[in-house]
């Protein structure tokens, strides 16, 4: 399976340096990215997914630039945003799930059959005709995950996947993710969400602060977050 390779990658948005000089080779099955709010975590995920172009350096997956080869990326990358309302496009559950499959080249009949099988396997066959706006926040987020999984990408990029879910749904999602064959990148400000990853990357102000096994990175991350909690840690946001 292809690695994600960043070489001196940086990102400038509206004149502000959001990410700087990131050189990483991502190949482990489970990778966590931690950092406080505003550290660049979501921007890094968007950069990897090709949703924003690198201002400096490069991002490559199997030698391809994800920002320029969007069709090829449909089978390589699936991204789940923190807010499902930024992702859902269609009025019913079945239409939402079928969209990506049609984009991949499946006929509408093939996509409909795949959607029906997926919902049946998830114990949610009754969701098919449900209006997406009637689902709860957690249900909409789960729908977005199912839409990504239906496309069977090599990589899953998950932005705070547990944030809107109650505890039983979190447990179900963790079990589901643990059983997948795809490599997974999970970003979170919560170290608990990435404690069982193979590798953890800590971003601070858009730069690499630490990178290694969770038992090496997370104690230092927790200690720094506690230290910042004792001071005015957000005074830098206005500068």
pTM of the model: 0.87
Query: How high is the pLDDT of residue 238?
Result: 43
pLDDT classification of 124: cutoffs 50, 70, 90? very high
Instruction: Indicate if the pLDDT at residue 158 is higher than 90.
Output: yes
Residues 6+ apart with CB under 8 A from 12: 18, 55, 56
CA 197/CA 29 separation, integer angstroms: 8
CA 174/CA 29 separation, integer angstroms: 15
Determine the average pLDDT of the residues in 215-228.
93
Digit-coded pLDDT (tens) for 162-220: 876 778 878 877 887 888 888 999 999 889 889 999 999 999 999 999 999 999 999 99
Read off the tokens for 115. Answer: 């959607």
pLDDT classification of 232: cutoffs 50, 70, 90? low
Instruction: Indicate if the pLDDT at residue 237 is higher than 70.
Output: no
Residues 6+ apart with CB under 8 A from 224: none
Buried/exposed code over 12-37 (b: 16+ C-beta within 10 A; e: otherwise): eeeeebbbbebebebeeebbbbbbbe
């Amino acid at each position: 399976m292809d690695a994600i390779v960043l070489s001196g990658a940086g990102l400038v948005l509206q004149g502000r340096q959001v990410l700087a000089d990131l050189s990483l080779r991502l190949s482990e099955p489970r990778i966590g990215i931690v950092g406080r709010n505003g550290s660049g975590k979501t921007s890094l995920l968007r950069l990897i997914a090709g949703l924003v172009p690198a201002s400096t350096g490069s991002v490559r997956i199997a030698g391809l630039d994800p920002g320029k080869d969007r069709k090829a990326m449909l089978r390589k990358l699936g991204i789940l945003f923190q807010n499902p309302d930024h992702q859902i496009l269609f009025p019913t559950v079945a239409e939402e799930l079928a969209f990506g499959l049609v984009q991949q080249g499946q006929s509408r009949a093939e996509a409909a059959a795949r959607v029906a099988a997926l919902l049946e396997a998830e114990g949610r066959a009754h969701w098919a005709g449900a209006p997406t706006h009637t689902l709860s926040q957690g249900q909409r987020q789960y729908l977005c995950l199912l839409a990504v999984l239906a496309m069977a990408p090599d990589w899953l990029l998950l932005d705070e996947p547990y944030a809107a879910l109650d505890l039983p749904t979190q447990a179900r999602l963790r079990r589901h993710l643990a059983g997948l064959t795809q490599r997974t990148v999970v970003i979170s400000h919560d170290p608990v969400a990435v404690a069982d990853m193979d590798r953890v990357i800590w971003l601070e102000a858009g730069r690499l602060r630490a990178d290694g096994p969770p038992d090496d990175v997370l104690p230092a991350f927790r200690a720094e977050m506690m230290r910042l909690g004792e001071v005015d840690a957000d005074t830098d946001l206005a500068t």
